Amino acid sequence: MAEKQTHPIRPPQGNTSDTPSTLSETAYVALSQMIQERSLPVGRPIVETQLADMLGVSRTPLRQALQRLEAEGLLRKSESRSYVVRRVELREYLQSLKVREVLEAEAAEMAIGRIAPEAISRARAHVQAVQGRKPYDMLAHWASDDEIHDLFIDACGNQVIINILKSLRVTTKLFEIERLSERLEPDSSQHESILDALYSGNAVATRQAVVDHLRSLADFAVRVL
Q: Which residues of 24-44 are buried (b: 16+ CB within 10 A; e: fewer)?
A: bbbbbbbbbbbbbeeebebee
pLDDT digits (tens, 9 = 90+) for 88-147: 999 999 999 999 999 999 999 999 999 999 999 999 999 999 888 877 788 888 999 999
Domains of the chain, with CATH numbers?
23-85 (1.10.10.10), 90-224 (1.20.120.530)
pLDDT of residue 216: 94
pTM of the model: 0.84
Distance of CA 120 to the CA centre of its chain: 18
The length of the chain in residues reads 225
Which of 20-29, 69-78, 143-152, 201-210 is predicted least confidently?
A: 20-29
Percentage with pLDDT > 70 across the chain: 89
Q: Mean of the per-residue pLDDT values for the chain?
A: 88
CA distance 152 to 146: 10
CA distance 211 to 205: 10
CA distance 106 to 9: 36
